[in-house]
Amino acid sequence: MKLIVEKPSPLAATEVVACEIVRGADFGCVWHHHPEFEITLVKRGGTERWVGDKLTPLKPGDLVLLGSDLPHDYRNDRGTGRRAQKVEAIVVQFMPHLLGADWLRHASMKPVQQLFHRARLGLEVRGATRQRAAQRLAQIAKAKGLRRVVLLLDLLDDFAQSKELREIASPGFHAAIGSASSDRIGAAVAHIEAHLTEPIYVPALATMTGLSESAFSRLFKSCTRRTVPQYVNELRIARACRLLAETDQTVSQIADACGYPTPAHFQRQFHRHQKRSPLFYRSAVRKQG
C-alpha cells in the first residue's frame, strides 16, 4: 500500500504537545507515518489498528505509543454488511526533542531514552499503567501550554518505569518509506478490502496491477511483509474478532461474513491465529468487558 507522510497538525503551530479528540465515522487516517511521537487511546469504535507489520483487532481502551516515522493506520471497517460503530479517540503528538536537542543525553533521562528506543516498534500499554494513562490523557486533552507539557512528562515517566508495555511490530521491522512502486500495491490492497468476502486470487491481482504473478508477489511481500494469503487471512480474522465481540452471530454466519468457504476452515484458521476457538475468544472478550 502507499505510505503517506502526514502533514503536521495545525495544533502543532500553537502547542508543543498537540492533542486532538477524534470523533466520527472513522479515524480520518490512512497508512501513514510522521516524525512526531504519537499516543492514541481508543475510547470506542474502530475495528483494527495496523502498526508496522502487525494487524490487531481494536477494543475500547486500546492504548499505544508510537515512535517517529513508524507506519500505522487505524480503521473502522464498514464492509461487514452492518453499520459500523462511530469512533472516539484521544490522540497526542509531540516531537522527541520537545525540551531541546540535548535533554535526553543526561544520565537521569536514561529510562526515557530506552522508552523512546523501544517505541520505534510501537508499544501497547496494558494493565494498571493503561488505566492511569487514560486518566492522564483526559487531563492532557483539557490542558494547555506548559500544563499540558508537564502532564505529558509525567505520563512518559510512568511509561518509562512500567513493565506493562509490550512491543508491537516485529524486531527488525523496517518500512520502505517513500517507495513509489507501492502505488500498485495500494490498488491491490483496496481491491482486497472491498472484496474480502469473495475468493481472492493472486493472478487476478497481478493482472490488475500490470505485473507478472511472480513480480507482484515479490512487491506485495516487500510492501506489506506478508504474502497475499497471509494478508487476506489477517484481515478476515480481524473482522471475525470484531463480530465475535460485538454480535451474537453464529460461527457459521461469521465464517460466511468473513469470506471463509466453510465454518470448519474458519475455525482452523482462527485457532491458528488466536490460539483459541472462536467461541472461547467470544467468552473471554465479553468477560473482560
Question: How many Å apart are CA 223 and CA 176, to the nearest integer?
Answer: 7
One domain for residues 213 and 272: yes
Strands across the sheet with 165-167, in order?
A: 18-24, 87-94, 37-44, 63-66, 123-125, 165-167
Residue-level length of the chain? 289
Q: Are residues 163 and 194 in the same domain?
A: no
CB 204 within 8 A of CB 25: no
Q: Look at residue 174 and tell me if it is in a domain.
A: no
For helices 182-194 and 202-209, give the axis angle rounded to 10 degrees: 130
The C-alpha cell of 12 is what?
502543532
Asked whether residue 159 falls in the same domain as residue 81, the answer is yes
Choosing from 167, 191, 223, the residue where a domain stops is 167
154 and 216 belong to one structural domain:
no
Same domain for 8 and 131, yes or no, is: yes
Same domain as 125, residue 41: yes
3-state secondary structure the chain: CCCEECCCCHHHHCCCCEEEEEEECCCCCCCEECCCEEEEEEEECCCEEEECCEEEECCCCCEEEECCCCCEEEECCCCCCCCCCCEEEEEEEECCCCCCCCHHHCHHHHHHHHHHHHHHHCEEECHHHHHHHHHHHHHHHHCCHHHHHHHHHHHHHHHHHCCCEEECCCCCCCCCCCCCCHHHHHHHHHHHHHCCCCCCCHHHHHHHHCCCHHHHHHHHHHHHCCCHHHHHHHHHHHHHHHHHHHCCCCHHHHHHHCCCCCHHHHHHHHHHHHCCCHHHHHHHHHHHC
Instruction: Mark which of 140, 167, 194 sits at the end of a domain.
Output: 167
Q: Which of 167, 202, 217 is the last residue of a domain?
A: 167
Residue 74 sits in the same domain as residue 213: no
Identify the pLDDT of residue 6.
Answer: 54
161 assigned to some structural domain? yes
Return the C-alpha torsion angle 220, 222, 224, 227, nearest 10.
60
What's the sign of the alpha-carbon dihedral 226, 232, 237, 243?
Answer: positive
β-pairing, 123-125 vs 165-167, is antiparallel
Do residues 230 and 154 share a domain?
no
State whether 143 and 281 are in the same domain: no
- As a whole number of angstroms, the distance between CA 172 and CA 115 comes to 17
In CATH, what number is assigned to the domain containing residue 61? 2.60.120.280
Say what the pLDDT of residue 80 is.
Answer: 47
In a domain, 176, yes or no: no
Any domain includes 270: yes
- Residue 63, in any domain of the structure: yes
Sign of CA dihedral 108, 113, 114, 119: positive
- Domain residues for 66? 4-167
Which regions of the chain are under pLDDT 70? Answer: 1-14, 78-84, 172-183, 225, 288-289
Assigned domain for 73 exists: yes
Q: State pTM to two decimals.
A: 0.64
What is the phi/psi pair of residue 102, to 5°?
-105, 0
Q: How many domains does the chain have?
A: 2
Measured CA to CA, the distance from residue 213 to residue 21 in angstroms comes to 43
Which CATH number goes with the domain that contains 236?
A: 1.10.10.60
